[in-house]
Structures are given as C-alpha cells and as structure tokens.
Amino acid sequence: MKKICYIIGASVTDGMYIDKREGDYVIAADGGLAALEKTGVCADLAVGDFDSLGRVPELDNKICHPCEKDDTDTALALCEGIKLGFRSFVIYGGLGGRLDHTMANLQNCAGAADHGCVCWLWGEDNAVCVFGDEDELSFEKGKSGMISVFSPARTMGVNLSGLKYTLSDACLTSSVPLGVSNEFTGEEALISAQNGVLIAMWNEDAETFVKRIR
C-alpha cells in the first residue's frame, strides 16, 4: 500500500478527506493548519512563515521561514515531504484561491514529478494528478465525465487509451492544449508518457479521489 504525504494549504475548501494510515504523514503549510485543526487530524509537521495563520503554532515539530523567501509555503512543505522519502503526495488547498498560487503549485508538482514523485491535488471536486514517465494514471470501468491532459513543457510518447479521443506515441507541448476536453467512455482508461511530465484534470469527490490513490 502506498504511503501518502498529505499537504494542507491555506486555500482549503470544504470536503477534503484524509485517510491517514500507518506510515502516512501530514504537513500543514501555514494557514492550512487552521483548516486541518477543524478536521481533528493532527499535523505531523507545520511549515511556513505563518503570516496566513496569524500566529506561530505551538507545535513541537515546526519549521519557521521568513516572510521574504523564494518558495511558497506549499512548495516548502513539498520539499520537506521529499526529504522524508515520500513519493506520493496529496495536496489540499493547492487549487482555487489565488490563480498565481495555483500555477505555482502545478509548477512545483511538475518539478517533483521530474524526480519520480506523483502529486495529487484536490479542491471543490476538481482533481489533478501530476506525474512523470515512471508512472501512469489509470481509471476503472464505469468512470464518466470529462478529463483533460496537459504538458507543462514538452512530453513525448503520450498514450491515451479507453477515452473518447485516443493518442498513441504523441507529443504534447505547453503551447498547444491538444489534450483538453477529453471524455471517459465507461471503459478502463490509461494515461502514460515515455518522456516528460503530464498533468491530468477531472472531476471527483475527495473520498473517491483518495481511494483511487490507494
């Protein structure tokens, strides 16, 4: 079973689902600690400058950063998770809110995928998976709705099967959104690439989303 590092950001909306099991880890990124406290789940680590939270948390395990820094609090939390050896990340509060922070989160996740990590983001029933050529994304039979697949740079050998619009050994780039607005067909679907990173987006509730990762 995969060990998951949950990262809770400040832009969390209602509906997040944390299925913390043995070996999992929860990191609160600044204001994400306030949202986490409402769930009754304890943070294993708090990271950030804590300007959004408005206070330095009274936790034994915290890492405080200056307000003037190059990385976002979510990026700092992601780095800490990677240092701890995690490869699968679920990020709540990384979508919605400030558009620039959403873009920054996708870029940070793409960077992590370049190093063999898989990052899953969720917010308001919007699910995102950012993964590299060492991994693939699959969906079970019966899945419906739309899905879009993008490349943050240039991704070679892209394969989409089981969807309405299939691709075989294709190239996706950041300048042409060829993979937008695809559809599930009810058949098993598989998304993969031979070289590069892919960003897949679809609609799903948080509980189903976390069960998919398991």
- pLDDT string in tens for the chain (214-residue length): 689 999 998 877 678 999 999 999 999 998 889 889 888 899 999 998 888 887 888 888 988 887 888 888 899 999 999 999 999 999 999 998 789 989 999 999 999 999 999 999 999 899 999 999 999 999 999 999 999 999 999 999 999 999 999 999 999 999 999 999 999 999 999 999 999 999 999 999 999 999 999 8
Are 151 and 182 contained in the same domain? yes
Are 120 and 153 contained in the same domain? no
The alpha-helical segments, DSSP class H, found in 84-125 are: 99-114
Q: What is the pTM of this model?
A: 0.94
Q: Which domain, by its residues, includes 145?
A: 136-201
Are 68 and 82 contained in the same domain? yes
Are 196 and 207 contained in the same domain? no
Site of tokens 């509980």: 207
Are 36 and 88 contained in the same domain? yes
- Sheet containing 136-139: order of strands: 136-139, 189-192, 154-161, 167-173
Are 109 and 145 contained in the same domain? no
Neighbours of 48 (CB within 10 A): 30
Are 152 and 102 contained in the same domain? no
Are 68 and 109 contained in the same domain? yes
Q: What is the CATH number of the domain that holds 86?
A: 3.40.50.10240
Give residue-wise pLDDT tens across range 154-210: 999 999 999 999 999 999 999 999 999 999 999 999 999 999 999 999 999 999 999
Report d(CA 116, CA 29) in Å as an integer.
22
Are 16 and 87 contained in the same domain? yes
Are 93 and 111 contained in the same domain? yes
According to DSSP, residue 36 is labeled H
Which residues, 6+ apart, have CB-to-CB distance to 111 below 8 Å?
Answer: none
Are 115 and 53 contained in the same domain? yes
Are 69 and 150 contained in the same domain? no
The tally of domains found in the chain comes to 2
